[in-house]
Amino acid sequence: MICRHCNQAKVNRPRGLCWSCYYRPGVRDQYPSTSKYARRGVGNFCGTPPVPTAATSARPGSAEKIAILAERARNKQSLWHPDDVTMNPPVTAELLAQAC
């Protein structure tokens, strides 16, 4: 196999690159990994992500909520906002009065 970047040297590094192209700054980032074990998709973010700017009124499990979660993951935000709608509404004084 020939290097995907220079089309001259034999491939001996991952991503289908030769030694010199693989270690040349910026070249490796131009070619995605060809390994079946490579991370795919949005990615795994380690750290403390920022809270999303706005809460959502989408019900958990709905297609709208799943799309919002995917968008938050792409933006490397926390998936859950403290004011997101939940399956169980919060207990309020009004609800307690109705129960009695």
Q: Provide the percentage of residues in the chain whose pLDDT is more than 70.
A: 85
pLDDT in tens, 41-55: 666 666 678 899 999
Specify the residue for token string 């958990």: 60
CA-to-CA distance for 22 and 28, rounded, in angstroms? 5
Specify the residue for token string 């009124």: 57
Closest CA to 58 of 95, 29, 87: 87
pLDDT at position 17 is 92
CA-to-CA distance for 7 and 87, rounded, in angstroms? 57
Residues 6+ apart with CB under 8 A from 29: none
In sign, the C-alpha dihedral spanning 65, 74, 79, 44 is positive
pLDDT at position 81 is 93
CA-to-CA distance for 47 and 77, rounded, in angstroms? 10
The secondary structure of residue 28, as a DSSP letter, is: G
Neighbours of 54 (CB within 10 A): 10
